Amino acid sequence: MRQIFLCLLIVLSCSFLFQCQVENRCSPNTQGACPCPDGRYGTRTCSADGVYGSCYCLSAPSEQVVSDADGAAPEERPAPEESVSSEPQAEKTPEAGPEPEPTPESSPEEVSTETTPTEPEPIPEPSVVEDEPVTEGVCEEACQGGAICSGTTCKCPTGTTLCGSLCVDTKATPEHCGGCGKACAATKAACVNSQCTCLFSTLIATFSGRHAGGVEAVRFGPNSRYLYSACSSAGLQVWDVAGRKHFYEHASGIYPSTDGVRDPHNVSVHKDADQFLVSGEARSIKVYSLQQQKRIREIYGHTANLSDALFNPAGTLIASSSKDKSIRIWDSVTYKLLQNLSFTPEVGKMDFSPDGKLLAVSFADKSVKLIDTTTWQEVRSLAGAQDNIESLAFDKQGKHVAVGTDAGTILIWDATTAALLRTIVFHGTFAYTVHSIDFSPDGKYLISGWEDRSAKLWEVATGKLVHTLTMHFGAVYGVAFSPDGKYIATGAGDKNVRLWGCP
């Protein structure tokens, strides 16, 4: 065995001497291999004179350990006296210089034994590499869809934006909160500040099987316990919100019905949560009692079909508007006529400010006026609408008045200064009618019911589309927020009432 090993050393030595003789003989601009101090091979380039330049070596400590263990150069093997010595002496061998020739007592088994202790040397190095992601560990778990963790923040490539934990195309559906809105819609979530979140975007319940016609008006009671809905064929239903079930049917809606209201415009609930009224294509106002479960009053006086009717916030008055170009104010207890206001154009939709001091009214000439409920005189005019007004709402803080038109636009004014704050235009294929609108209790959002079978949720401060509710199979005629801010109700031409919220 020792003789074989000596022969191998002689052959390698001759090869090394021959390499030295031809070291600088090369063809210009060619590359050749050259030995490095760590026993590996580097590269060198032949100059135009046919002489090799300097040797370029790459030194990697972890790789060096592997290379030494696999097979070190013969001249790096230790002398036999060190091989047979104790193990602590063997640990010093990497620091010793290479021996020119081994003695006959060396053997391959001794080389293997001597290189084994060198392997634990790089053990501390992996621990350093594992410590680096500790500060980025949470970030790396959150970054997905092409996002890269930079420090503790997920960052996206140019042309994309971070939507939750995903990088999405910024060019996709700009009216739907950018690409984020498209990504959130895939999971039935809403896009708020580039984050996918549940914002009235989960279908909680569907109330069906009761209405014989399309649902044209929905309204929550003041305590959010009951939801009222009226359909085109005079059906009138009350639903238990918490129980997710039907509570009371006043009129079946099977035409002809003498107790309901055909083609209803609005449902208004008294603050005592008992009385509620419905206005529609009729000249009278019908008032009902939830406790008695019957109609308790029908108010006559208008000479043409009604446009709207509602209780004031205090529950002391009823206001009604009509195509006879008048607004009439009634006592809600005695039902006596208190005021008869006449106008030149036909009167449309109405809503009281939350303190009841102002009444916002739309007209057929596309104007909106604010009327003082003490003097019943106009105090401000809100200009800017270019199309027919189909819906109107005051926000719950009394700061804004909004209208929806038959051209697919929503206008929002400052109720104090009468300044037009913004006009929201949905860039769809057609100019769909905005049938109904309502502000959220905190005034941050506005829900709108559209002819395109959807309900769209907008951010009031920016006018951005936040989310679209799209599970109806008919035009969405009625929308409403619950007073507790937990739900949105939608009523549509598919005869269904849907309840939206978060699980």
Q: What letters, b where the CB count within 10 A reaches 16 and e where it falls short, cover 287-297?
A: bbebeeeebeb
Q: If we measure between CA atoms, which residue out of 346, 329, 325, 345 comes closest to residue 337?
A: 329
Q: Tell me: do 374 and 275 sit in the same domain.
A: yes
Single out the residue in 195, 213, 235 at which a domain terminates: 195
Single out the residue in 148, 174, 195 at which a domain terminates: 195
Q: Tell me: do 167 and 246 sit in the same domain.
A: no
Q: Are 295 and 288 in contact (CB under 8 A)?
A: yes
Strand, helix or coil for residue 142:
helix
Strand, helix or coil for residue 503:
coil
Q: Tell me: do 364 and 241 sit in the same domain.
A: yes
Q: Centre a 10 Å sphere on the Cβ of residue 18 and count the other Cβ atoms it contains.
A: 10
In a domain, 71, yes or no: no
Lowest mean pLDDT, pick from 149-158, 199-208, 242-251, 394-403: 149-158
Lowest mean pLDDT, pick from 55-64, 335-344, 436-445, 482-491: 55-64
Single out the residue in 195, 214, 236 at which a domain terminates: 195
pLDDT at position 465: 87
43-85: pLDDT as tens digits: 667 777 776 676 665 543 333 333 333 334 444 444 444 333 3
Q: What is the mean pLDDT of residues 175-193?
A: 65
Q: Tell me: do 140 and 256 sit in the same domain.
A: no
pLDDT band at 159 (very low <50, low <70, confident <90, very high): low
Q: What is the mean pLDDT of residues 273-292?
A: 92
Domain span holding position 163: 128-195
Which residues lie closer than 8 Å to 36 by C-beta, 6 or more apart?
42, 55, 57, 59
How far is it, in rounded angstroms, from Cα 200 to Cα 439?
13
Q: What is the mean pLDDT of residues 398-416?
A: 96
Q: What percentage of the chain exceeds 70 in pLDDT? A: 63
Q: Tell me: do 170 and 236 sit in the same domain.
A: no
In a domain, 122, yes or no: no
Task: For residue 344, give both structure tokens.
Answer: 């030149």
How far is it, in rounded angstroms, from Cα 348 to Cα 406?
13
Q: What is the mean pLDDT of residues 193-200?
A: 78
How far is it, in rounded angstroms, from Cα 196 to Cα 189?
6
Residue 260, pLDDT > 60, answer yes
Sole residue written with tokens 């929308």 = 479
Residue 112, pLDDT > 50, answer no
In a domain, 46, yes or no: no
Q: Tell me: do 221 and 323 sit in the same domain.
A: yes
Q: What is the mean pLDDT of residues 449-475?
A: 90
Q: Tell me: do 182 and 209 sit in the same domain.
A: no
pLDDT at position 156: 72
Angle at CA of residue 308, ends 304 and 312, nearest 5°: 130
Q: Could you tell me which residues are beta bridge partners of residue 149?
A: 154
pLDDT band at 400 (very low <50, low <70, confident <90, very high): very high
Q: What is the mean pLDDT of the chain?
A: 77
Residue 261, pLDDT > 80, answer no
Task: For residue 96, give both structure tokens.
Answer: 């010793």
Q: Could you tell me which residues are beta bridge partners of residue 412?
A: 402, 422
Alpha carbons within 13 angstroms on the beta-carbon side of residue 499 total: 27
pLDDT at position 243: 94
Q: What is the mean pLDDT of residues 420-429?
A: 84
Domain count across the chain: 2
12-25: pLDDT as tens digits: 554 444 444 444 45
